[in-house]
Amino acid sequence: MTRHDTLEPSATSLNPVDLLTTDQVATALGLSSRTLAAWRSSRSNSLPYVKTGSRVRYRSQDVVAWLESQVCSPAKTAGDRT
């Protein structure tokens, strides 16, 4: 038995099919790739990413979760009587 045979997939293991490129995420979010790069560089946003060597990838479930966390409810205005 090889070492590979003894490894069991965990709930947090990465499936390469679920990894998105910066361009794919930027297109999906209506942003530029440069914006995502700036967010990573400045750590000004909490969108998680995976870095392997010089390559950056985003897990699809992280993008969905991040997008859900960005939902804002409309502020109640002074004229509302509800």
Contacts of 20 (CB under 8 A, 6+ apart): 28, 57, 58, 59, 60, 63
pLDDT tens-place string over residues 63-74: 999 999 999 988
- Note whether residue 43 is domain-resident: yes
- Note whether residue 30 is domain-resident: yes
Q: What are phi and psi of 14, to 5 degrees?
A: -90, 135
**Full residue range of the structural domain in which residue 41 is found:** 16-69
What CA–CA distance (Å, rounded) separates 67 from 59?
12
Domain count of the chain? 1
* Model pTM score: 0.70
pLDDT tens-place string over residues 36-64: 999 999 988 889 999 989 999 999 999 99
- Note whether residue 5 is domain-resident: no
pLDDT band for position 3 (50/70/90)?
A: very low
- Note whether residue 58 is domain-resident: yes
Task: Please say whether the beta carbons of 57 and 20 come within 8 A.
Answer: yes
